[in-house]
């Protein structure tokens, strides 16, 4: 006989109890390792989705403007394409999908990705399967595409196209591409389905007037080599810059395709020109709608702001800030004498989308002949629709023109001089009047030294200027960027949400229940063997050897449980992932998650589970040293009643004080309220259970006078077990009540200005920017004149969804620019900080930013004061956090910061809308109809919040479901305890039966005992949970659902009663009379 034999015999003889221990450990291991597997599987799935959707792309070159398609040739095996966003309509059904990815591709795209080409050409296109399903489109159907035509000229400048930049293109659906055929190609990682159309590149280029130009090049190499190649391959023209040697004028002119030179670029060009000894003259040309002198006026004249001395030396000393110089033609029309007051009217485009006519007063300062600089047509930038028109009456400008004001003389001037300015003002005055965020010069004219003014010298100087300018201009600062797409997507696939962590939390109660169950059965097993332990002690085994013996048995049981649990973990993870794809799909927005069984997470979970089980077993065995052999031989361990009572009292006092401290600190705002109250509530739960334990041991001080009293007294028979049962029920109640309280009601208080919707019932988002102010320019936008209808337009820099709807870690989140007026209204409520914090600019250049508290904490993983570096180099610093708002998908910055940081993002795409409740549905329909070409979708803010809450509520449901499983295990444990209690008390019941208690009496007695236990447990759980959720209750007023809470508690009560009834029934079936004899 060896120790091993003893262990083997023990394991075999007590196999029933041991199997229960194994089952408990297996459950704990399955739950823990399963949670880890879930986390790993979600990450793997996200990575798979993100990587599959970019095909063979490693990195890409992208630009805010179009650049030369030939640039792709420099990168070898690369694929040029156009990537835009559009609105797609199925002609037959009229079904519309906005925000559809539009890819202009040719055979190189399919070859690059190693996929079979769908053979699209001319007007044939391919659709992604999800888009085809949404539209109900099939091969052969007609598809209408409307998209924002890329333009070099800023749409928010006077000359930018606003109203007709979106041509509608008719296509024929040739095929529907499955995701395996790259139908769901996507440059932005998203777990949701991708709605995309693939259009022939040349057709798209032709439709948008961009022949030979693209905005994206996919490459099969990593970013570093692509950057190196780009460094040598890009040209000035790729950035939309132009350098012209104007032989006639003897100058080099630097301008941009946008018609205005950004300040930084102008400074760089000046510096380069200075280095080459070129004399620089800045020019700012603008359109005056009216030039009026006395009762004469001329319409639609180009006016150039320049150093007037360049026109004529005489102006060097005479020109003032108010001086306006006319050419002979204009002078003939206006007949201004020197000193005559001249009024200039011009259109000005404001940042808030208003177009106004401004006036400026001048004094006629002289007349110049139309020659030399005054005859230079190149002073005006090229504006499509104006500068390329044959006649003035053919103008198609992006601003209102009254053609009735055009006269024959104007046409004649146009015929002879085209864009030659008619009037001139000083550059500094012109810049004060017309400068914009895009810049304050339309051209820089650079004149070589007088001894180098021949054509050859000019060309040489131009070439040198070009080379030096290229050396100082950085492509990435001018919209041409290399993005390490695959690396970025892989980084994003690490996920905003660590599902492993979440499910570990969610499963915590389940795991603890399983471990408690394992420990409980182990303990019951030990209790069955008291006399064996007593015998071993009496024959010379010391306590530590006996403990090792039982620990060895425990180890065998734990490892056996771990083996079974490892298999269970795979099943558990599969079930959870199945649940995420079906029952809880609201939390993940995809059904494409699949199980990946990696040894790492599985081993970590198994080890964690085994360690926890061994710890539970160790704790069970810790008192073995103190048990007396005599009492053990008699079949009972000696319990230090007094010391455990005292210990329980101290635990109650300690935990109670700590709970009070946390609650007070949370209430005073010294620590986060949620943490303070939740921690306080949990400690209060511990304190209450310890108090119960202490009270049970002093229960004999009052005389039992009734059967109910006897039932209550019975609870003190095994106080440890009673408290364990109470702990299981109270913890489950605590969990269910506290979790339920966090369930969000999206319809709550949405009309309140301080709610998450800021009092706006509606929010709209357009695919194409809207440039006109929808309040002041309502008629132009065909918007309804509904009284009470008000829009707050917001600027949007598209990017990754920063909310819990996006499983990927946002690398480049959406940014919204908020006008000062909205911030001054003081709407929404803050978890930290306020709108005022957005006002102050940081001295170090960081942009103050606000995010929703949930997104900041759980998705962006940031805190107040943290910074977020955007791929474009902008640094955002979080200064405030909104509380449960509709802005969970984006980061908010002040509009002025937005304009500075994202000058290329134009117009408004997001609209907060106030609309009267009566007829709101009709108003929404009218708004959407008016702005259908812009792809505006208006939704109720409550629905938007509901989408976020659905995720949160789904997590809570998941938590509750797993908690319910934990409760089920707890109930099994409770039933086991009850059965054990009743079994141990069968002699007592025999006695009671003998003295006249009927079986019904006995059942009632046991039920009363356990009903009391359940009631106390529920009260402890619900009461301490109420403390934990106090801030939530306070913040939501009285909207907490007492009915649903009551139902949940009743469910817990019913579960407990069922367990009691089953245990009692089983126990009372035992032969009670026999038990009386056995003594």
Partner 1 sequence: MAGPLKILDGIALRAAPGDSLSIMGPSGSGKSTLLSILGALEPPSSGTMRLDGQDPFSMPEPELAAFRNRAVGFVFQDHCLLPQCTVLENALIPAMARGGNAAEDEARARKLLDRVGLGGRLTHLPSQLSGGEKQRVAIARALIREPKLMLCDEPTGNLDRTSAGAVADLLFGLHREQSVILVIVTHSEALAGKAERRYELNAGRLMGLGS
In the complex, the residues that contact partner 1 under the rule CB under 8 A are 699-700, 703-707, 710, 713-714, 716-717, 987-988, 990-1001, 1073, 1076-1077, 1079
| Closest-CA residue to 970 (of 1033, 1058, 905) | 1058
Among residues 813, 873, 880, 875, the alpha carbon closest in space to that of 845 is found at 875
Least distance (Å) between residue 1000 CB and partner 1: 6
The residue (of 231 and 1001) whose beta carbon lies closer to partner 1 is 1001
Min dist. Cβ of residue 805 to partner 1 (A):
57
Query: Closer CB to partner 1, residue 914 or residue 984?
Result: 984
Nearer to partner 1, 779 or 1000 (CB): 1000
Closest separation in Å from C-beta 1061 to partner 1: 18
Q: Closer CB to partner 1, residue 651 or residue 710?
A: 710
Q: Tokens for 26, please give them.
A: 């297996």
Q: Kindly state the smallest distance separating residue 1072's Cβ from partner 1, in Å.
A: 8
Minimum CB–partner distance for residue 993 and partner 1 (Å):
7
- With contact defined as beta carbons under 8 Å apart, do 302 and 422 qualify? yes
Interior angle at CA 612, CA 607 and CA 617, nearest 5:
125
231: Cβ–Cβ under 8 A, 6 or more apart, which residues? none
- Parallel, antiparallel or unpaired: strands 124-128 and 168-177: parallel
Q: Residue 154 or 719: which CB sits closer to partner 1?
A: 719
Question: Other C-beta atoms within 10 Å of 779: how many?
Answer: 9
Geometric angle at alpha carbon 343, from 341 and 346, rounded to 5°: 160
DSSP E strand boundaries for 840-935: 847-852, 867-869, 875-882, 890-894, 908-914
Task: Compute how many other C-beta atoms are within 10 angstroms of the C-beta atom of residue 632.
Answer: 23
Task: Provide the minimum distance between the beta carbon of 1075 and partner 1 in the complex, in angstroms, as a whole number.
Answer: 9
For residues 643 and 782, which CB has a smaller minimum distance to partner 1 in the complex? 643
Give CA–CA dist 193/607, Å, rounded. 38
Neighbours of 393 (CB within 10 A): 12
Instruction: Give the shortest CB-985-to-partner 1 separation in angstroms.
Output: 9
Buried b (16+ CB within 10 A) or exposed e, 407-416: eeebeebbee
813 closest CA partner among 713, 893, 729: 893
Reference 421, options 372, 467, 480; nearest CA is 372
**Judged by CB, which is closer to partner 1: 363, or 697?**
697
CB of 992 to partner 1, least distance (A): 7
Least CB distance to partner 1 at residue 639 (A): 11
Nearer to partner 1, 618 or 638 (CB): 638
Strands 355-368 and 323-327: parallel
3-state secondary structure of 210: coil
Give the shortest CB-1078-to-partner 1 separation in angstroms.
8
Nearer to partner 1, 932 or 1076 (CB): 1076
- Nearer to partner 1 by Cβ, of 644 and 834: the residue is 644
Smallest separation, CB 977 to partner 1 (Å): 16
- Name the percent of the chain in helix, strand, coil, to the closest 5: 50, 20, 30
Q: Which is nearer to partner 1, 664 or 1070 (CB)?
A: 1070
Q: Do 949 and 942 contact (CB within 8 A), yes or no?
A: no
Tell me the closest approach of the beta carbon of residue 1073 to partner 1, in angstroms. Answer: 5
Where residue 1049 falls (left for φ over 0; alpha for ψ -120 to 50; beta otherwise) is: alpha
Residues whose CB is less than 8 angstroms from the CB of residue 85 and which lie 6 or more positions away in sequence, other chains included: 99, 100, 101, 102, 147, 148, 767, 798
Residue with tokens 């791929």: 871
- Compute the least distance from the CB of residue 710 to partner 1, in Å: 6
Question: Which CB, 643 or 1044, lies closer to partner 1?
Answer: 643
CA distance 78 to 221: 9
CB of 1003 to partner 1, least distance (A): 12
Cβ of residue 1071: shortest distance to partner 1, in angstroms? Answer: 9
Residue closer to partner 1, measured from CB, 16 or 1077: 1077
Q: Output the smallest distance, CB 8 to partner 1, in A.
A: 35
| Residue with smaller CB distance to partner 1, 1069 or 1077 | 1077
In this complex, which beta carbon is closest to partner 1, that of residue 703 or of residue 1042? 703
CA–CA gap between residue 912 and residue 938 (Å, rounded) = 9
CA angle, 618 then 621 then 626, to 5°: 135
Give 243's DSSP letter.
E
From CA 868, how far away is CA 901, in angstroms rounded?
Answer: 14
Answer for the pair 524, 981: CB distance below 8 angstroms, yes or no.
no
Contacts of 613 (CB under 8 A, 6+ apart): 24, 25, 28, 29, 515, 518, 554, 557, 558, 561, 562
The minimum distance between CB 714 and partner 1, in angstroms, equals 6
Q: Least CB distance from residue 755 to partner 1, whole Å?
A: 55
Of 178, 185, 264, 252, give the one whose Cα is nearest residue 218: 185
If the CB atoms of residues 115 and 713 are measured against partner 1, the closer one turns out to be: 713
Pick between residue 482 and residue 712 the one whose CB is nearest to partner 1: 712
Note whether 167 and 446 are within 8 A (CB). no
How far, in Å, CA of 221 to CA of 1042, rounded? 60
User: How far, in Å, CA of 897 to CA of 894, rounded?
Assistant: 5
CB nearer to partner 1: pick between 995 and 1043: 995
Q: Tokens 């650079």 appear where?
A: 446
Sorted by sequence, the CB contacts under 8 Å of residue 302 that are 6+ apart come out as 285, 286, 287, 288, 379, 380, 419, 420, 421, 422
Token match 């809308």: residue? Answer: 913
β-pair type (847-852, 875-882)? parallel
């Amino acid at each position: 006989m060896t120790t091993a034999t003893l262990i083997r015999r023990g394991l075999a003889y007590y196999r029933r109890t041991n199997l229960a221990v194994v089952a408990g450990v297996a459950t704990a291991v399955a739950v823990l390792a399963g949670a880890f597997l879930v986390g790993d599987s979600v990450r793997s799935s996200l990575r798979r989705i993100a990587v599959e959707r970019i095909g063979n792309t490693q990195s890409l070159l992208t630009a805010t403007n179009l650049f030369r398609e030939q640039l792709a040739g420099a990168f070898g095996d690369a694929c040029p394409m156009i990537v835009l966003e559009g609105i797609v309509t199925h002609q037959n059904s009229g079904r519309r999908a906005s925000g559809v990815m539009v890819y202009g591709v040719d055979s190189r795209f399919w070859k690059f990705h190693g996929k079979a080409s769908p053979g699209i050409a001319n007007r044939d296109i391919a659709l992604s399967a999800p888009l085809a399903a949404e539209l109900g489109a099939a091969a052969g159907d007609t598809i209408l595409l409307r998209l924002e035509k890329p333009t070099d000229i800023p749409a928010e400048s006077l000359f930018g196209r606003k109203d007709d930049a979106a041509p509608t293109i008719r296509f024929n659906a040739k095929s529907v591409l499955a995701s395996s055929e790259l139908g769901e190609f996507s440059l932005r990682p998203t777990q949701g389905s991708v709605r995309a159309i693939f259009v022939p590149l040349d057709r798209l280029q032709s439709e948008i007037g961009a022949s030979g130009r693209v905005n994206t090049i996919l490459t099969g190499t990593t970013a570093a080599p692509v950057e190196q190649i780009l460094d040598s391959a890009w040209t000035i023209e790729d950035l939309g810059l132009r350098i012209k040697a104007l032989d006639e004028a003897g100058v080099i002119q630097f301008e941009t395709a946008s018609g205005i030179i950004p300040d930084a670029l102008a400074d760089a060009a000046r510096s380069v020109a200075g280095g080459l000894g070129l004399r620089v003259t800045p020019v700012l040309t603008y359109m005056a709608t009216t030039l009026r002198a006395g009762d004469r006026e001329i319409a639609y004249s180009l006016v150039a702001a320049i150093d007037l001395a360049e026109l004529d030396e005489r102006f060097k000393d005479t020109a003032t800030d108010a001086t306006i110089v006319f050419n002979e033609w204009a002078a003939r029309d206006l007949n201004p004498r020197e000193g005559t007051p001249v009024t200039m009217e011009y259109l000005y485009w404001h940042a808030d989308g208003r177009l106004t006519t401004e006036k400026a007063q001048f004094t006629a300062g002289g007349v110049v002949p139309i020659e030399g600089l005054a005859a230079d047509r190149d002073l005006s930038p090229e504006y499509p629709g104006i500068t390329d028109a044959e006649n003035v009456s053919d103008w198609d400008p992006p601003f209102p023109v009254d053609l009735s004001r055009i006269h024959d003389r104007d046409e004649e001037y146009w015929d002879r001089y085209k864009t030659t300015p008619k009037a001139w003002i000083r550059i500094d005055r012109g810049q004060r009047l017309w400068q914009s965020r895009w810049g304050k010069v339309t051209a820089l004219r650079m004149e070589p030294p007088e001894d180098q003014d021949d054509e050859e010298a000019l060309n040489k100087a131009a070439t040198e200027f070009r080379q030096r300018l290229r050396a100082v201009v950085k492509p990435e600062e001018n919209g041409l960027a290399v993005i390490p797409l695959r690396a970025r997507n892989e980084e994003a696939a690490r996920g905003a949400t660590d599902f492993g962590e979440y499910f570990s939390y969610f499963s915590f109660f389940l795991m603890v229940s399983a471990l408690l169950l394992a420990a409980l059965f182990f303990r019951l097993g030990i209790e069955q063997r008291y006399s064996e332990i007593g015998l071993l002690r009496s024959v010379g085994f010391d306590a530590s050897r006996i403990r090792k013996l039982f620990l060895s048995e425990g180890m065998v049981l734990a490892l056996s449980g771990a083996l079974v649990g490892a298999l269970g973990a795979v099943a558990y993870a599969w079930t959870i992932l199945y649940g995420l794809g079906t029952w809880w799909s609201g939390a993940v927005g995809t059904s494409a998650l699949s199980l990946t069984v990696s040894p790492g997470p599985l081993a970590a979970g198994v080890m964690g589970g085994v360690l926890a089980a061994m710890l539970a077993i160790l704790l069970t065995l810790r008192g073995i040293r103190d048990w007396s052999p005599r009492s053990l031989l008699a079949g009972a361990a000696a319990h230090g009643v007094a010391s455990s009572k005292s210990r329980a009292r101290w635990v109650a006092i300690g935990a109670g004080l700590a709970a009070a401290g946390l609650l007070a600190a949370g209430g005073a705002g010294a620590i986060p309220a949620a943490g303070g109250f939740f921690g306080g509530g949990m400690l209060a739960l511990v304190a209450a259970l310890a108090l119960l334990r202490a009270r049970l041991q002093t229960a004999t001080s009052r005389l039992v006078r009734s059967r109910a009293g006897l039932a209550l007294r019975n609870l003190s028979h095994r106080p440890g077990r009673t408290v364990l049962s109470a702990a299981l029920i109270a913890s489950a109640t605590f969990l269910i009540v506290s979790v339920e309280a966090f369930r969000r009601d999206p319809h709550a208080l949405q009309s309140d200005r301080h709610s998450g919707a800021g009092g706006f019932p509606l929010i709209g988002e357009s695919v194409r920017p809207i440039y006109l102010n929808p309040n002041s320019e309502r008629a132009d936008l065909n918007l309804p004149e509904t009284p009470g209808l008000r829009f707050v337009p917001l600027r949007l820099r598209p990017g990754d969804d920063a909310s819990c709807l996006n499983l990927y870690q946002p690398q480049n989140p959406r940014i919204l620019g908020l006008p000062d007026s909205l911030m001054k209204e003081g709407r929404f409520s803050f978890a930290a900080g306020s709108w005022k914090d957005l006002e102050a600019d940081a001295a170090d250049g960081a942009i103050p930013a606000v995010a929703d508290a949930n997104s900041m904490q759980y998705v962006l993983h940031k805190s107040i004061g943290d910074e977020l570096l955007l791929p474009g180099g902008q640094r955002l610093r979080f200064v405030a956090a909104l509380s449960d708002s509709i802005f969970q998908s984006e980061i908010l910055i002040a509009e002025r910061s937005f304009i500075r940081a994202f000058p290329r993002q134009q117009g408004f795409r997001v609209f907060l809308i106030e609309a009267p409740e009566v007829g709101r549905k009709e108003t929404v329909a009218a708004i959407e109809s008016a702005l259908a070409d812009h792809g505006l979708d208006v939704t109720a803010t409550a629905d938007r919040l509901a989408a976020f809450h659905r995720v949160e509520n789904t997590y809570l449901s998941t938590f509750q479901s797993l908690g319910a499983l934990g409760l089920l295990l707890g109930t099994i444990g409770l039933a086991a305890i009850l059965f054990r209690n009743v079994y141990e008390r069968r002699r007592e019941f025999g006695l009671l039966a003998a003295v006249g208690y009927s079986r019904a009496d006995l059942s009632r007695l046991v039920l009363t005992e356990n009903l009391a236990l359940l009631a106390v447990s529920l009260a402890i759980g619900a009461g301490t949970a109420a403390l934990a959720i106090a801030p939530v209750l306070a913040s939501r007023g009285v909207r907490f659902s007492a009915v649903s809470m009551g139902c949940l508690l009743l469910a817990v009560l019913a579960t407990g009663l069922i367990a009691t009834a089953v245990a009692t029934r089983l126990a009372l079936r035992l032969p009670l009379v026999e038990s009386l004899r056995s003594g």
